[in-house]
Amino acid sequence: MIELEIQALSESREGLLIEVGGFVIANGFTLQRQRLVQDPHGILMTMVVRGPWLKKRALVSALNAYDRFLSLKVEPYVEGESRPHFAASRKPSPYTAPPAPMLEPAPAAAAVAPKLVDQPEPVVAPAIVDVPEAQQLPPERESEPEFEFILPNPPRPAAAPAPAAAAPFVELIPQGPDEPAVDKLLRGLEYDYPRIVPQLLALDRTVAEAARESSLALAGQRIGGWVFEREYALDGGLDLHDAIERIGVPALRALAEVDLQGAQLHIQDSALCAEHGHSGCSFFSGFLEGLLGAAIAPGSLSIFPVCCRSYGADECVLAISD
């Protein structure tokens, strides 16, 4: 027979002794004594059992498989030996600071004899001899500093800024219209009209500068002729004033805000003339030529741009005559 001491750590104590006792009895051991102690780490269980030596391994295996044990230790029990639990909290050992060492008093300093200081010899004051006032010289006055007037230097004039180099004026030689670009614009005219201002602005930016005005004029002529054939083909044989009033103004109002004053058309806020020095009035002139040319036949038509907002005017003005 063998006696074993079982020490284990568990989280709770409810039913712990009953369940462990079942393992002990099932493996042929008998319970001798047991103890449960509450500890900061958990429940400390100590149990002494007795049984056959050959059953020790089976009992230890069963206890190791028990899921309520956090840790386990099984050792032979020695009668009369008090063995502390392996998982018990350790109490801090009292510590007493050693006494401070005694300091020996410093040896008394040897008496220092006072140092004798030689007494100075008495000084005999010289005899004072009266000097006549005539022979006494007046004390010299310290010379006063002479003031020097320093004129401030005049400020140095700032350097004149370098003149900006003026861009040379280059007169463009007008070129003919860019017909492929105009044809590309007119491909979707049936679906885009009258919302064609974005396409006209794109044409203005893509063609060469020398061909810009002629390309806009050609686009205006073709669009004006297309509008006349679609909407005003039956209104022919009119004089100039009637043609402008009945055909020109209504057609232009689909593209811009227009006001007729006598023989002049005033176009407000033209999107084609928004950029400084970049007039788009050639489109409106071409548009009126294509629109009114067939209506006043066999008469001739002359359109002259009076002013443009791209050059600082409040509005664009076109003068029309036959």
Between CA 275 and CA 241 the distance in angstroms is 31
Q: Which has more pLDDT, 276 or 169?
A: 276
**Which domains, from first to last, does the chain contain?**
2-76 (3.30.70.260), 221-321 (3.30.1380.20)
| pLDDT on residue 121 | 55
Amino acid identity for residue 301 in this structure: L
Is this prediction's pTM over 0.85?
no
pLDDT of residue 49 exceeding 70: yes
Residue 27: closest CA among 65, 54, 67, 64:
54
Contacts of 42 (CB under 8 A, 6+ apart): 9, 10, 11, 70, 87
Lowest mean pLDDT among 42-56, 153-167, 276-290: 153-167
Structure-token pair, residue 192: 């885009």
Lowest mean pLDDT among 52-66, 117-131, 134-148, 227-241: 117-131
* pLDDT tens digits for range 147-166: 555 556 667 777 777 776 66
Between CA 8 and CA 88 the distance in angstroms is 10
Between CA 176 and CA 215 the distance in angstroms is 7
* pLDDT tens digits for range 95-122: 565 666 666 655 554 444 455 445 555 5
* pLDDT tens digits for range 80-93: 888 898 888 876 65
Q: What is the DSSP letter of 209?
A: G
pLDDT of residue 131 exceeding 60: no
pLDDT of residue 139 exceeding 60: no
| pLDDT on residue 261 | 92
Hey, which residues does 3 pair with through a beta bridge? 50
Phi, psi torsion values for 125, nearest 5 degrees: -70, 135
* pLDDT tens digits for range 172-190: 788 899 999 999 999 989 8
Position of tokens 């018990």? 88
277 backbone φψ class: left, alpha, beta (φ>0; ψ -120 to 50): left
pLDDT tier for residue 1 given thresholds of 50, 70 and 90: confident
pLDDT tier for residue 222 given thresholds of 50, 70 and 90: very high
Between CA 289 and CA 265 the distance in angstroms is 13
Between CA 309 and CA 315 the distance in angstroms is 5
Q: How many CB atoms lie within 10 A of CB 228?
A: 20
Residue 190: closest CA among 223, 151, 164, 216:
223
Contacts of 75 (CB under 8 A, 6+ apart): 4, 5, 7, 83
Between CA 309 and CA 312 the distance in angstroms is 5
Average model confidence (pLDDT) across the chain: 82
